[in-house]
Amino acid sequence: MREEISTREAFGEALAELGEINKDVVVIDADISKSTYTTTFHKKFPDRAFNVGVAEQDLMLVAAGLATTGKIVFTSTYAVFASMRACEQVRTFICYPNVNVKIHASHGGIQVGADGPTHQGTEDIAIMRALPNMKVIHPADAIATKKAVFEIAKDYGPTYLRTMRNPTPIIYDDSYKFEIGKGNIVLDEGNDVAIIATGIMVLMALEAAKILKERGIRVKVVDISTIKPIDSELIINLAKNTGGIVTCEDHNIIGGLGSAVAEVLVENYPVPMKRIGLKDTFGESGNWKELFDIYGLSPKHIAEACIDIVKNKIPPLK
């Protein structure tokens, strides 16, 4: 495998492989199939691949109708369009009747970079998480994405699979086992803080862990690839073991991973917590790594949040 690969590309590779082993898999695009990497599937299985053109609402409806004929339908478009342009179709005609449609949403977060805010899906997790019956999955790298594609095809029901535009390094090796609803401890250096991240932010968190280690702060880095249903058991255990949590997401801090983790903690085991994410703002065009620096998503920002948590854990002098 190449050193860096985008998760959208990994999705496309996995989908073409899935098509070989499962003849019920059907793929529908709303143009941009080249960009969401479903073209390989289209070439291999032309009789099971459709393109409705630039029409995302129709995309979701056609998927819903196809699902009633026994198909496992994958729709593929960008996060902004899947979650907002076609939001009501996803809610009322996919989630409400609970049909077997898998929504691939590429271009999650400001990691999109140069295309700017119109194409950066930064509220999609919040929106999709609020829909009953919907599962929300955001893998951290290409390997996790590939494994997720096969797992969600085995599972019944509506699923939102968020991928990223730009190539990112590989975190996992082939031994990684993706399980819907299960988080994964990627790094376990100690119990000073638990950094809970999703998508590209798992990588940022691993970088932050290096910075923190130099300062003598030992953290756990946890990949929450399924944001819904969230791994409550793991999150509660992390809170019990570390007493401090930092969440990281390339998404608005309202309604996404940070909110989901806070919901679990506040009802079960409240501990000090900080949320890394877009601070209720839109992104802008630019190199994504520069954008991460500007919008507070860099390893440095995560490390600072962890240091704050650790400082607050020191008991006051008597």
Question: Is 56 an active-site residue?
Answer: yes
Q: Give yes or no for residue 31 binding another protein (CB under 8 A).
A: no
Candidate ranges 59-67, 174-182, 217-225, 234-242; the one touching another protein (CB under 8 A): 59-67
Q: Give yes or no for residue 26 binding another protein (CB under 8 A).
A: yes
Smallest separation (angstroms) from another protein to the CB of 28? 8
Strand positions, DSSP E, the chain: 4-5, 25-29, 49-51, 72-78, 101-106, 135-137, 159-162, 168-169, 184-188, 193-197, 219-223, 226-228, 245-252, 273-278
* Spatial separation of the C-alpha atoms in residues 176 and 200, rounded to whole Å: 17
Q: What would the DSSP string read from start to end of 30-71? A: SS-TTTTT-HHHHHH-GGGEEE--S-HHHHHHHHHHHHTTT-
Q: By C-beta, is 86 or 164 nearer to another protein?
A: 86
Q: Give yes or no for residue 67 binding another protein (CB under 8 A).
A: yes
* Spatial separation of the C-alpha atoms in residues 55 and 17, rounded to whole Å: 27
CA angle, 205 then 209 then 210, to 5°? 125
Which of 27, 33, 36, 71 is close enough to bind another protein by CB under 8 A?
A: 71
* Spatial separation of the C-alpha atoms in residues 220 and 200, rounded to whole Å: 16
Residue 215's φ and ψ, nearest 5 degrees, are: -90, 5
Smallest separation (angstroms) from another protein to the CB of 40? 20
Q: Looking at residues 98 to 157 of the shown chain, list those that interact with another protein (rule: CB under 8 A).
A: 98
Q: Which of 13, 56, 123, 249 is catalytic?
A: 56
Candidate ranges 34-42, 67-75, 179-187, 292-300; the one touching another protein (CB under 8 A): 67-75
What is the x/- site pattern for another protein, positions 226-265, by CB under 8 A? ----------------------------------------
Q: Residue 165: helix, strand or coil by DSSP? A: coil
Which are the catalytic amino acids? 56
Q: Give residues in contact with another protein (CB under 8 A).
A: 26, 47-48, 50, 52-53, 55, 57-58, 60-71, 88-89, 92-93, 96-98
